[in-house]
């Protein structure tokens, strides 16, 4: 018999559902009706889904801003914009209710987070997320009404949920064994919607031990119960199998099964119980094929913080399908599965290196609204086919970020600081957005809270003005200045000078650009700043000049006749600080109590300049380094990958053979290291700064610099010391050569 393959990408997850405890923080919190399903309730009052979930509705956001407490302000607010206050909707029109009291009104309650009537034109702003909830279909599976279909209910007894964030709880039970049957559908019976995250039905080996009492288990409930037969997760109403197939149970199929629930209890409630279960529908009118579920995807993810897009690709390669698929199988349906960071997922089929088709494709993945891809004409899968799974994770909204919010969001479009009332772009230019421009943007606010207040909130934003009447040129912003500052305390004048040198502008400016405006930027120690333009070593003009800089009263230098900037020009930035008010050293950093030395230059046309940042670390121009170019003999970008074999062998020699006494062998190695261009002068300082988070490198530099002092004081020759018959360094280099030969041969 051919086997029909039910395809599913499934893994276990962590969710955030509605918390019943918060219902007691608002009047009638457990009595809010579903606005578009008469007779149903909406227990997740502050959420966009009735059962809860991650995404909050307008009331949920307001509720969170009050610390999840019922206040006069929250009561009198109309969160959903339907003309009724939250208090009127929840039965507290006079805003007199307090926790533990009976509400003034307990009938005709309406939803404070859903504008009603929900389909009225004034409520259109919520249609996008509410329509899927209001039009959500009940479980429909015609097959369960067919003659001869039987059902059995597996339901947990009232079970106490432990005060633990994640619990997998399982029972192992007998399936019908008096005949051969096909399992054709399952329907969940969810009791505690605050806690139950998902359910999985596993097929077990015949002689696995029964466990009729709910028992804490692992993600796979038992080593002998590994075959998935059915799944449920938030957003699904049930599982209806393709009408040509079913999961075989009974005499010649699975005789025992495990039902697993995942309880998610991040608030560590100790009083919760659960009585959930699953209805199994099966028939002895066997269908054409037996079904199975194959899980594809990745067992490893490492998603860095603050990144807009992180993409992982995994394969079920041809070697695997060729080994384990005996003859072609048919894909009847498939599901994607990620958690709340997931934004898109695709499963693709390849054959002989060529892409055939999508098995699934969700460019707007929503964990709370899962989608099943069903195929009335099943997809054929052959031995030797490859299955590729691609998933993209998105950094959540309102995330703490770095000074550059995301490595892929580096181009500045606009800035605001205290003292500015807005940003008006030069009338010949604009920042291109849309089809051929930026399609996404990051908005970053810098919150400065030196008093460490814990009760402050913020609701700031930015209004963007744009037009389809395109101006003559696209605009860009070039940041110049310094990435290194070290301002000693109690000094009236400390000056730093940085360059965007001719080598950089010659490399990255294709044709002349025009400077339309510029701004200086320092913090509160800054007293003066100037940005100057040089050509062929001669000073041309100031781009900015503030002899009395004031952080709270910023100045924009605008040019009705823009300044021409050519390839090979040099931009010099000079910043001066007064630290008489400080008793500690001030460094470069993003805090207001740190310091900066930047200039923001708005220019056009954007296509003539290929970088957005031209700064220096001491005298090292970062644009040259980032481009992979050599500067004073050092290819710093490559060196910082620590792929240079010579350095890594010398590094290992120091770490393995050196000690605090700086033996002769160590001094030989140190002297050799000192000849590396990227470990001379300011380059060495930069590498040391770059690697200061590594204990190994901190130890390396401690040993290296200690021994280097001895080398310098002894005025050692540049040759390698000999120890008896042979040099240690020579041995290392011979060994290195031998290893290379071994690898090559």
- Residue 219: closest CA among 180, 168, 172: 168
Does residue 304 or residue 18 have the better pLDDT? 304
Of the three residues 393, 422, 437, the one that is the final residue of a domain is 393
For 76-129, how does the pLDDT look when each residue is reduced to its tens digit (9 = 90+)?
999 888 889 999 999 999 999 998 888 889 888 888 988 887 666 667 667 666
* pLDDT(464) > 80: yes
378 band by pLDDT with thresholds 50, 70 and 90:
very high
pLDDT recorded at residue 144: 93
Supply the Cα-derived Rg of the chain in whole angstroms. Answer: 34
426 within a domain of the structure (yes/no): no
495 within a domain of the structure (yes/no): yes
Domain that holds residue 677: 636-744
398 within a domain of the structure (yes/no): no
pLDDT recorded at residue 21: 52
Residue range 558-585: mean pLDDT, rounded: 95
* pLDDT(725) > 70: no
Gap between the Cα atoms of 422 and 474, Å rounded: 20
- Residue 430: closest CA among 464, 393, 388: 464
Does residue 221 or residue 394 have the better pLDDT? 221
Q: Looking at the structure, do residues 320 and 369 belong to the same domain, yes or no?
A: yes
Long-range contact pairs involving 415-422 (C-beta distance under 8 Å, separation at least 24): 415/477, 415/519, 415/600, 416/462, 417/521, 417/551, 417/554, 418/551, 418/552, 418/554, 419/552, 419/553, 419/554, 420/554, 420/556
**Which segments of 631-726 does DSSP mark as H helices, in order?**
636-639, 645-657, 664-673, 682-690, 695-714
107 within a domain of the structure (yes/no): yes
Q: Looking at the structure, do residues 481 and 617 belong to the same domain, yes or no?
A: yes
Of the three residues 569, 595, 626, the one that is the final residue of a domain is 626
Please report, for residues 170, 223, 225, 296, 439, the alpha-carbon distance to residue 218 in angstroms, rounded to integers and kept in the order given: 9, 10, 11, 20, 43
Distant-in-sequence, close-in-space partners of 405: CB < 8 Å, separation ≥ 6:
306, 442, 444
Q: Looking at the structure, do residues 566 and 598 belong to the same domain, yes or no?
A: yes
- Domain total of the chain: 5
pLDDT recorded at residue 470: 92
Q: Looking at the structure, do residues 566 and 495 belong to the same domain, yes or no?
A: yes
Q: Looking at the structure, do residues 609 and 481 belong to the same domain, yes or no?
A: yes
pLDDT recorded at residue 730: 38
- DSSP designation for 28: T
Q: Looking at the structure, do residues 12 and 119 belong to the same domain, yes or no?
A: yes
What angle separates helix 645-657 from helix 728-744, to the nearest 10 degrees? 130
Phi, psi torsion values for 701, nearest 5 degrees: -65, -30
732 band by pLDDT with thresholds 50, 70 and 90:
very low
Gap between the Cα atoms of 395 and 551, Å rounded: 32
Gap between the Cα atoms of 232 and 229, Å rounded: 11
723 band by pLDDT with thresholds 50, 70 and 90:
very low
Q: Which residue has the tokens 């029964």?
A: 210
Percent of the chain as helix, strand, coil, to the nearest 5: 20, 30, 50
* pLDDT(396) > 60: no
pLDDT recorded at residue 12: 31
Q: Which two tokens stand for residue 604?
A: 């056009």
Q: Which residue has the tokens 């230059």?
A: 601
Q: What is the DSSP string of 141-208?
A: -GGGGSTT-EEEEEE--SEEPPSSSEEEEEEEEEPP-SSEEEEEEEEEE-S-TTTEEEEEEEEE-TTP
Q: Looking at the structure, do residues 177 and 279 belong to the same domain, yes or no?
A: yes
* pLDDT(17) > 60: no
718 band by pLDDT with thresholds 50, 70 and 90:
very low
pLDDT recorded at residue 53: 62
Q: Looking at the structure, do residues 172 and 245 belong to the same domain, yes or no?
A: yes
- Residue 532: closest CA among 495, 577, 565, 485: 565
Q: Looking at the structure, do residues 8 and 85 belong to the same domain, yes or no?
A: yes
Q: Which two tokens stand for residue 714?
A: 């002894």
Q: Looking at the structure, do residues 551 and 619 belong to the same domain, yes or no?
A: yes
Across 205-276, the runs of DSSP E, i.e. the strands, are 211-217, 227-233, 239-240, 245-250, 256-264, 273-274
460 within a domain of the structure (yes/no): no
Range from 15-19, 519-523, 700-704 carrying the lowest mean pLDDT: 15-19
Range from 317-321, 334-338, 536-540 carrying the lowest mean pLDDT: 334-338
Q: Looking at the structure, do residues 654 and 721 belong to the same domain, yes or no?
A: yes
447 within a domain of the structure (yes/no): no
Residue range 406-434: mean pLDDT, rounded: 85
* pLDDT(745) > 60: no
728 band by pLDDT with thresholds 50, 70 and 90:
very low
417 within a domain of the structure (yes/no): no
- Residue 162: closest CA among 35, 265, 316, 17: 265
656 within a domain of the structure (yes/no): yes
* pLDDT(708) > 60: yes
* pLDDT(522) > 80: yes
Q: Looking at the structure, do residues 621 and 642 belong to the same domain, yes or no?
A: no
For 136-152, how does the pLDDT look when each residue is reduced to its tens digit (9 = 90+)?
557 789 999 999 999 99
* pLDDT(459) > 80: yes
* pLDDT(569) > 90: yes
- DSSP designation for 56: B
Residues comprising the chain, all counted? 745
Q: What is the CATH number of the domain that holds 245?
A: 2.60.120.310
pLDDT recorded at residue 326: 93
The answer to whether the beta carbons of residues 502 and 571 sit under 8 Å apart is no
Per DSSP, the three-state class of 335 is: strand
Say if pTM beats, i.e. exceeds, 0.85: no
pLDDT recorded at residue 278: 93
What is the chain's mean pLDDT, rounded?
84
The answer to whether the beta carbons of residues 390 and 346 sit under 8 Å apart is yes
Of the three residues 393, 423, 439, the one that is the final residue of a domain is 393
């Amino acid at each position: 018999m051919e086997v029909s393959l039910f395809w599913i990408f499934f893994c276990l997850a962590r969710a955030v559902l509605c918390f019943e405890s918060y219902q007691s923080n608002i009047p009638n919190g457990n009595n809010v009706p579903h606005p578009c399903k008469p007779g149903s309730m909406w227990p997740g009052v502050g959420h966009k889904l009735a059962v809860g979930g991650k995404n909050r509705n307008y009331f949920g956001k307001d509720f969170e801003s009050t610390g999840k407490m019922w206040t006069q302000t929250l009561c009198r607010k109309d969160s959903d914009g339907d003309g009724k206050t939250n208090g009127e909707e929840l039965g507290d029109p006079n805003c007199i209710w307090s926790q533990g009291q009976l509400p003034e009104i307990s009938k005709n309650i309406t939803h404070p987070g859903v504008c009603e009537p929900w389909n009225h034109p004034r409520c259109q702003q919520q249609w996008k997320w509410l329509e899927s909830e209001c039009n959500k279909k009940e479980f429909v599976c015609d097959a369960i009404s067919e003659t001869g279909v039987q059902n059995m209910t597996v339901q947990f007894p009232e079970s106490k949920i432990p005060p633990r964030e994640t619990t997998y709880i399982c029972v192992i039970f007998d399936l019908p064994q008096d005949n051969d049957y096909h399992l054709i559908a399952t329907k969940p019976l969810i009791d505690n919607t605050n806690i139950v995250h998902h359910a999985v039905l596993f097929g077990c080996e015949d002689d696995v031990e029964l466990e009729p009492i709910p028992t804490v288990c692992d993600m796979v409930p038992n080593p002998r119960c590994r075959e998935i037969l059915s799944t449920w997760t938030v957003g699904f109403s049930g599982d209806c199998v393709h009408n040509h197939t079913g999961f075989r149970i009974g005499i010649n199929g699975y005789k025992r099964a495990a039902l697993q629930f995942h309880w998610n209890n991040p608030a560590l409630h100790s009083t919760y119980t659960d009585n959930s279960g699953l209805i199994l529908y099966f028939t002895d009118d066997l269908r054409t094929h037996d079904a199975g579920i194959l899980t594809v995807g990745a067992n490893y993810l490492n998603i860095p913080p603050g990144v807009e897009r992180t993409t992982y690709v995994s394969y079920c390669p041809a070697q695997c399908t060729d080994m384990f698929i005996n003859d072609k199988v048919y894909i009847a349906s498939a599901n994607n599965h990620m958690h709340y960071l997931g934004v898109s997922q695709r499963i693709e089929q390849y054959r002989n290196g060529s892409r055939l088709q999508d098995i699934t494709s969700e460019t707007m993945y929503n964990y709370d609204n899962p989608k099943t891809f069903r195929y009335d004409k099943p997809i054929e899968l052959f031995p030797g086919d490859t299955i590729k799974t691609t998933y993209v994770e998105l950094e959540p909204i309102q995330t703490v970020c770095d000074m550059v919010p995301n490595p892929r969001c580096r181009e500045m479009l606009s800035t605001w600081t205290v003292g500015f009332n807005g940003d008006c772009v030069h009338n010949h230019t604009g920042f291109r957005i849309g089809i051929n421009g930026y399609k996404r943007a990051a908005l970053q606010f810098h919150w400065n809270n030196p008093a460490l207040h814990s009760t402050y909130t913020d609701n700031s934003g930015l209004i963007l003005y744009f037009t389809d009447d395109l101006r003559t040129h696209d605009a860009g912003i070039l940041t110049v200045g310094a990435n290194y500052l070290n301002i000693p305390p109690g000094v009236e004048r400390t000056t730093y000078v940085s360059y965007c040198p001719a080598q950089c502008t010659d490399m990255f400016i294709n044709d002349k650009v025009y400077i339309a405006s510029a701004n200086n930027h320092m913090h509160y120690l800054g007293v003066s700043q100037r940005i100057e333009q040089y050509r062929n070593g001669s000073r041309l003009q100031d781009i900015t000049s503030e002899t009395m800089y004031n952080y709270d009263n910023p100045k924009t230098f605008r040019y009705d006749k823009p300044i021409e900037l050519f390839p090979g020009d040099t931009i010099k930035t000079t910043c001066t600080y007064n630290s008489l008010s400080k008793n500690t050293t001030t460094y470069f950093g993003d805090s207001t109590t740190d310091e900066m030395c930047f200039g923001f230059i708005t220019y056009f046309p954007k296509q003539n300049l290929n970088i957005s940042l031209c700064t220096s670390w001491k005298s090292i121009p970062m644009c040259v380094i980032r481009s992979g170019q050599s500067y004073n003999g050092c290819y710093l970008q490559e060196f910082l990958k620590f792929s240079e074999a010579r350095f890594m062998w010398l590094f290992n020699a120091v770490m393995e053979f050196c000690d605090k006494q700086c033996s002769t062998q160590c001094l030989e190695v140190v002297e050799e290291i000192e000849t590396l261009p990227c470990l001379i002068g300011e380059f060495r300082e930069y590498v040391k700064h770059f690697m200061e988070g590594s204990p190994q490198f901190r130890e390396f530099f401690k040993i290296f610099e200690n021994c280097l002092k001895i080398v310098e004081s002894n005025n050692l020759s540049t040759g390698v010391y000999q120890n008896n018959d042979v040099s240690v360094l020579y041995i290392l280099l011979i060994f290195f050569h031998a290893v290379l030969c071994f690898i090559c041969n």
